[in-house]
Amino acid sequence: MASAMRAARAQLEIATQNLANASTDGFRKALARVALTEGGLAVSERQSYEQGAVRTTGRRFDLALLGEGAFRVGEGLTREGAFARDRDGFLVDDRGRRLHGTRGVLRVSEDARIEPEGTVREGGRVVDRIPLPHGTRILAGALETSTVNPIGETLAILTAQRAFETAQKTLLAIDASREKAANDVARVQ
Amino acid sequence: MNRAMFAAASGMAAQQTQLEIVADNLANADVAGFKGAAATFADVRAGTLGLGTIAVGKHAVFAQGKLVRSGGAFDVAIDGPGFFVVERGGARAYTRNGEFARESDGTLRNSAGWALSGVRIPADALAARVERDGRVVIDTPAVKGRVIAQMRLASFAAPEALRPLGATLFAATEASGRARLFAPGKHDGPAIAFGMLERSNVSIVEAMMQILGAQRAYEANAKGVQAADEMLRIANNLHRG
């Protein structure tokens, strides 16, 4: 029963982490998977690969990924494509990380355009390309919104809470029956 | 449970930030030349542990607003990117709000007293207008169509790094780069629209949607805090006295 309570806690943590990021662009929700193991209930977490809805923003270097893949920024990868051109021509996200093309850090002029295939064009000239997996396209001037559905997560929170309560009640019942066994059944008259 | 509680609380804080920004956008939806702002959030993780969310940035969205004909005698708007250069008491700022009025000293000032840089209308001018290419032309009793000034617009290497001074006024920063002055009206460049004003680029419908979304997400996060609290209470009651 203690493992059931731990599992409920883990489910709650996943649901609240998802909910907290309901407005984080490019965020992909985590899915909780509960499995019965020898040690009791165990919760594991994996990422959903669902495509998020796309909203237009009117900023020319906001990039939404349609399909698999991620942007390479500094040492990391992200699907949050809110980039702005800084005064040196680098495309930086709000954490100050620079977007990479196929030839390392991307540096563009003010009138650069990012095309759906990832091609970076200045005027008529192709200057670089943002590497994309086959079939993935980029929509410039838009962002991929979070895939978190607040209703689903609220349900997950309630479920976790009730599971926790049930486990607690069961634990108390087990405790009560053991108390009886220890104190009443073996009483010598 | 504590992690869940803090993650949910960070979600509530994020939605509150979102609401504040949208409310500010809505409040300025009728201000000429106002540019709406947007917030960016990022998830916080320590290895595989989710620790909620954090607001990482807020920036103005410099998308073009609709140009509308206005009644003002010295109203101007920019069709395309760029900013008006305005001055007050030696300080320089940049704006897309072109609601100017002629003062007794001949300057064109907005309601906050910022004067359009480099333009002074002579006292004997009967009428004044600004051409597409930024030339300021006046009619005097003696001459018609005399060019008295050339209006210049400012552009920046990174306009989103400008520092807001008010609803529609911006100052240059280290990150935005220096203002580069240019004459409007070049073949595909921005042009001046005289007698027009640029409306704010805030979409009321979109702002209302954002408010509804933020409100519901806030409530859902509050449920998360409550659930974590309730589970802690249950855990504390495990031991019956």
Which pLDDT score, from 0 to 100, does residue A137 have?
Answer: 95
Which pLDDT score, from 0 to 100, does residue A186 have?
Answer: 67
Does the beta-carbon distance from B161 to A22 stay under 8 Å? no
Which pLDDT score, from 0 to 100, does residue A188 have?
Answer: 65
CA distance A41 to chain B (A): 17
- Assembly ipTM: 0.83
Considering only residues 90 to 149 of chain B, which have any Cβ-Cβ distance to chain A shorter than 8 Å?
Answer: none
Q: Which long-range contacts (CB under 8 A, 24 or more apart) does A68-73 make?
A: A68/A133, A68/A135, A68/A136, A69/A132, A69/A133, A69/A136, A71/A99, A71/A100, A71/A130, A72/A99, A72/A100, A72/A131, A73/A97, A73/A98, A73/A99, A73/A100
Interface with chain A: mutation pick from B3, B10, B16, B40, highest number of A CBs within 10 Å? B40
Cβ–Cβ contact B63 with A under 8 A: yes
CA distance B224 to chain A (A): 6
Which pLDDT score, from 0 to 100, does residue B78 have?
Answer: 96
Distance CA A46, CA A49 (A): 9
Distance CA B175, CA B173 (A): 5
DSSP A14-69: HHHHHHHTTT-TT---EEEEEEEETTEEEEEEEE--PPPPEEE-S-TTBEEEESS-
Per-residue pLDDT tens digits for A44-71: 889 899 999 999 988 889 999 999 999 9
Amino acid at A152: G
Q: Is the pLDDT of residue A22 over 90?
A: yes
Q: Which of B73, B54, B79, B174 is nearest to B127 (CA)?
A: B73
> In A, which residues are within 8 Å of B213 by CB distance?
23
Distance CA B15, CA B30 (A): 24
Count the Cβ atoms, other than its own, within 10 Å of residue B90: 5
Per-residue pLDDT tens digits for B37-96: 999 999 998 887 889 999 998 888 999 999 999 988 899 999 999 999 999 999 999 999
Nearest CA in chain B to A30: B50
Sheet with B146-150: strands ordered across: B127-130, B135-139, B146-150
> In B, which residues are within 8 Å of A13 by CB distance?
3-4, 7, 50
Amino acid at A52: G
Helix (H) or strand (E) holding B50: strand B49-60
Cβ–Cβ contact B158 with A under 8 A: yes
In this complex, the residue of B39, B53, B59 whose CB is nearest that of residue A20 is B53
Q: Is the pLDDT of residue B218 over 90?
A: yes
Does the beta-carbon distance from A16 to B7 stay under 8 Å? yes
Nearest CA in chain B to A17: B52
In this complex, the residue of A9, A94, A150 whose CB is nearest that of residue B1 is A9
> In A, which residues are within 8 Å of B234 by CB distance?
164-165, 168
Return the structure tokens found at B80. Answer: 């395309």
Q: Is the pLDDT of residue A155 over 90?
A: yes
Does the beta-carbon distance from A85 to B158 stay under 8 Å? yes
Q: Is the pLDDT of residue B241 over 60?
A: no
Please list the alpha-helical segments (H only) found in B37-157: none
> In B, which residues are within 8 Å of A16 by CB distance?
3-5, 7-8, 11, 52, 221, 224, 228
Which pLDDT score, from 0 to 100, does residue B132 have?
Answer: 92
In this complex, the residue of B223, B228, B235 whose CB is nearest that of residue A154 is B223
Contact, A130 vs A99, CB < 8 A? yes
Per-residue pLDDT tens digits for B94-145: 999 999 999 999 999 999 999 999 899 998 888 899 999 999 999 988 889 9
Interface with chain A: mutation pick from B5, B43, B56, highest number of A CBs within 10 Å? B43
In this complex, the residue of A12, A80, A87 whose CB is nearest that of residue B227 is A12
Interface with chain A: mutation pick from B6, B16, B49, B53, highest number of A CBs within 10 Å? B53
Nearest CA in chain B to A58: B63
Which pLDDT score, from 0 to 100, does residue B48 have?
Answer: 78
Per-residue pLDDT tens digits for A33-42: 989 888 888 8
